Amino acid sequence: MTSLQRQAVFHLIVTTACLVAVIALLVITKRPLASLAGFALIALTGFRSFRERGSRRPLYDERDDQINRRAGVISYQVFWVCFVAWGVALTMAFQKRAAVPIEYIAPAVWVAMWLVVTVRAVAILALDRASLAQAGGGAR
Amino acid sequence: MSGAPFTNEIRRLRFSRGEMTQEELARRVGVTRQTIIALEANRYVPSLLLAMRIAKVFEKPVEEVFLLHEEGPS
């Protein structure tokens, strides 16, 4: 497993924990806006997943860089489609009131961040797997 | 045989060089083993720098290690 794959797995663990925290807070507090505090766990993605001291092997190379960039493009494409869809849905739902309640706007920021991190991590693992699919992992 | 327009002889050359492992080749050219696996499966096109490093390990010209199978503009 390369450094990029490890990072992607770590990000998936963080985003899953984040989702669990939001749902748990929602159940416990029964206040949707308060439960959004669970999204603070996304900050953990700023940490490195594993220490890789003492390794003499390359941990990140040009192929990882290419996968990382493609995954970034995919995640922002998904984000943009969802962002536009959310905007259209809010417009259609609240056009007669001329104002969108804050509880529909605030979560969008954190959900968008969560979505980008999650989709990016999944895309990294999928693209990596796809590029190795024909070779088989056990090849010498 | 893959239908890829860009193939390589890395696997054959590895075995002709005393069965050099993917790990050993990866270490010598400074990439991960996964990249060597992807290269041998013709699932990844390397940078010019990496292609030249690999050719240097096998002491061959780049065009003997990497093969282009399409008619392009000359």
Cβ neighbours for A105, distance < 8 A, ≥ 6 positions apart: none
B74 Cα to chain A: minimum distance (Å): 28
How many whole angstroms separate alpha carbon A107 and alpha carbon A84?
15
A5 Cα to chain B: minimum distance (Å): 11
What is the pLDDT averaged over residues A107-112?
88
Sign, CA dihedral A139-B69-B49-B14, equals positive
Which residues lie across from B6 on neighbouring strands? B68
What is the pLDDT averaged over residues B57-69?
94
Q: Backbone phi, then psi, for B34, in 5-degree steps?
A: -60, -35
Q: Given a cut of 90, is residue B23 above it in pLDDT?
A: yes
Top-confidence residue, A20 or A131? A20
Choose among A56, A58, A63: nearest Cβ to B44.
A63
How many whole angstroms separate alpha carbon B8 and alpha carbon B6?
7
SS3 content of chain B, % helix, strand, coil (to 5): 50, 10, 40
* Predicted pLDDT at A103: 79
* Predicted pLDDT at B72: 65
What is the pLDDT averaged over residues A10-36?
91
How many whole angstroms separate alpha carbon A32 and alpha carbon A53?
42
What is the pLDDT averaged over residues B23-49?
93
What is the DSSP secondary structure assignment for residue B61, as one 8-state letter?
Answer: -
Over residues A62-96, the pLDDT tens digits come to 999 999 999 999 999 999 999 999 989 988 888 87
What is the pLDDT averaged over residues A19-46?
88
Tokens describing residue A28: 């416990």
How many whole angstroms separate alpha carbon A44 and alpha carbon A62?
26
**B31: exposed, middle or buried (C-beta count within 10 Å: 0-12, 13-18, 19+)?**
buried
Q: Given a cut of 60, is residue A138 above it in pLDDT?
A: no
Contacts of B43 in chain A (CB under 8 A): 130-135
* Predicted pLDDT at A71: 97
Tokens describing residue A86: 């959310």
ipTM: 0.79
What is the pLDDT averaged over residues A38-43?
88
B34 to A132: CB separation less than 8 angstroms, yes or no: yes
* Predicted pLDDT at B1: 46
